Amino acid sequence: MLITRARVTNYRSVIDSEYFEVEPRKTILVGVNEAGKTAVLKALQSINATADTPPLDFLFDYPRSRLNEIQRGTKTPSEIKVAEATFALSDADRAAVASKVQLDETATITWHKYLDNDLRYSVYGFPSSPTFGDVTQDLIRLRSYLAAHDSPASLLTLLDEIGTNNGSEPLAGDVAATIKSALTTALPLIDEEDGKETTRWAKIEELASKGSAVSEAVAILRTRIPLLVYYSTYFTVRPRIDLESLAARQERGDVDNEYDFGNLCLLKLLGFTARELSSMASGPPTKPNYYETDGDVRKEHDIAVVAYQRKLDSRQYQLNAASVTLTKDLRRVWGDETLQLRIVADGQYLKVMVVDDLGVEVELDQRSEGFRWLVSFFVVFRSQAQDDLEGAILLLDEPGLSLHALKQQEFRKTISLLGEDNQIIYSTHSPFMVGSDELDLVRIAEMKDRAAGTKIHSRLQVDDPRSVFPLQAALGYELAQSMFSQKKNLVCEGVTDMFYLNSVNEASTAEGAATLKNSPAIIPAGTASKVAYFCTIYAGQSLEVAALLDSDGAGDLAAQQDALVALLPKKAVLRVADFLATPVSGAEIEDMFRTTLATIAKSLGWDSSATISAQPSRPIMQILSAEHGKPVSKWKLAKAFMTWIGTNGYSALTTDERNAWSKLTSAVNKAL
């Protein structure tokens, strides 16, 4: 069961976040400090939070500016929705309810969390539940029949109480259960020769059973809601753990969740309790007084010594295994192949040591905060992954902020690995926690003013430019890093051009189709007029370079620039129009994929399919802008295309689109 769409309302800084889509593996909330990212994550957690999470409390969780609404009685917590999340059902979920209802892949269930901590639901694609109105008349007639045949007063009273229900109320849950109970009592009182009444009884029973089947299926699905685990700062693993003290606190029930949680996770990872390790530290069994003279005592003691030695060996091997596992995790992110983590049992203390390339051992607290954070993260996650966090949805609030920028980039890969088994939503304001290839995963958290509250946008165009600064910085960093890293380089006009080229090239490579050879760097110049400058810089570094220009007015001017004409051979100045099967006047890169983009634009609310089909020689972006105006965004269209081709693959493009791509790759490969 995975979240596909979510919305947060009436929670702290969030008045109404509006609906936003959630990706199957990883979704990134990007926004400035105080934009409300934490509030969104914590509200979502309330759908199915861990046991130690405090329940919702209107005094602390309802927007403070509206608190008087509850205190005056204008509203009650039971009518205030805090969060809702729509879940797509897995094959296992559908199989779990197959005995109750048959569902196809389009069926979804939405869970609604209210401020009184009540969890309600709505469904899509489920069999429709009958309403009380469908059985009202039959119940009245059945009641009349039973009254005429001296039925018990308690049964008649129950039927009278049932009759007070609203006709539009679904025939499910408690209502259906009460009706079925009354029917069971009534059955022996109905003359089996009376076909009219037995048919009436069977009709009511069938509708009540049908209604209860949906509610029973929902009850099963409720037990299968993934745990939503919120992490703000990962619990710290202490460099030195006093085993006797921790064991005593556990036995007294005096464990401090914030202080001890990381330590308990480390012990869980090792497979020992604090008491077990503490007992081993007390030494081997003491030799009894009659050891030399009593054979039975000697035998019993020798067995105890062997068992103790075996426990010591087990401790050593398990500590070593955990050390190796954590070392591998750390090396993957930290990038130091000489790094080694050692977990050592030293008397009544369990110590976490770090060994450097010289073999020097230091305790964990002598390393940087970022390093300690990373160790704690892996300990907590590794220990929990096989239990509560297996299949859980992880809500990570500003992860990795104490890591160096380059380490954040590596940690981003770790989050992607975690996303293979756990759906992840994480927030950040760091440009190094967002990759240029992850823009389709980004949701912008924005708060223009406190009155409007936090909004979550799937589009990258927002009113506050600070909100998208991390994305701009991420793109700028990626561009700077890639500028001179490749021997072969293709300069295009804009960033969206780069998105199309990279996403289609990745999809075609995955299917073994036409692809750009030798992995050329694709560099957006920003505008057509700057293409010549970029090409000059690359040529000056003795790097191979080609230019891809739109076939519009700006592209024509750029192609005629003296610097570009003198610098590049004709075959290295590529024009989009040269690759199209049907000529388009002023063609842009979007026209290479115009049929697919017409469908995608329709899904975005810009339906111009008829015009695009009727005017094949007119640029698609010109058509969309003319018919839909300001809402049309090249960024949003390119982002949606990246998601589409990532899901559907290269082969889903039309034949003309694949042919255009094949011609383009052939021309680029020849030019470079």
Tell whether 532 and 568 lie within a shared domain: yes
pLDDT digits (tens, 9 = 90+) for 437-459: 787 899 999 998 888 899 998 77
Tell whether 556 and 667 lie within a shared domain: yes
Residue 277 domain flag = yes
Q: How far is CA 58 from the centre of its chain?
A: 27
Would you say residue 462 has pLDDT above 70?
no
Tell whether 357 and 496 lie within a shared domain: no
Q: How far is CA 127 from CA 96, 109, 171, 215, 309, in A?
A: 16, 12, 13, 11, 63
Query: What pLDDT shows up at residue 547?
Result: 92
The domain total for the chain is 3
Would you say residue 385 has pLDDT above 70?
no
Maximum CA pair distance of the chain? 107
Would you say residue 668 has pLDDT above 80?
yes
Tell whether 150 and 258 lie within a shared domain: no
pLDDT digits (tens, 9 = 90+) for 342-362: 999 888 888 999 998 888 888
The type of residue at 83 is: A
Average pLDDT, integer, range 271-287: 83
In this structure, are residues 2 and 24 in contact, taking their beta carbons and an 8 Å threshold?
Answer: yes
Tell whether 525 and 658 lie within a shared domain: yes
Tell whether 535 and 556 lie within a shared domain: yes
Whole-angstrom Cα Rg for the chain: 33
Would you say residue 178 has pLDDT above 80?
yes
The larger pLDDT score, comparing residue 502 to residue 367, is at 502
Query: What pLDDT shows up at residue 450?
Result: 86
Q: Which domain holds residue 618?
A: 483-671
Would you say residue 110 has pLDDT above 90?
yes
Q: Of 351, 385, 419, which marks where a domain is finished? A: 385
Would you say residue 332 has pLDDT above 80?
no
Tell whether 635 and 511 lie within a shared domain: yes
Question: What pLDDT band is residue 389 in, cutting at 50, 70 and 90?
Answer: low
Cα–Cα distance, 255 to 556 (Å, whole number):
72
Would you say residue 382 has pLDDT above 90?
no
Question: What pLDDT band is residue 168 in, cutting at 50, 70 and 90?
Answer: confident
In this structure, are residues 356 and 291 in contact, taking their beta carbons and an 8 Å threshold?
Answer: no
Tell whether 510 and 627 lie within a shared domain: yes
For 26, how many CA atoms within 13 A lie in the half-sphere containing its CB?
25
Average pLDDT, integer, range 86-96: 96
Query: What pLDDT shows up at residue 208?
Result: 84
Question: β-strands 521-524, 488-492: how paired?
Answer: parallel
We report the CATH number of the domain holding residue 200 as 1.20.1440
Query: What pLDDT shows up at residue 519?
Result: 84
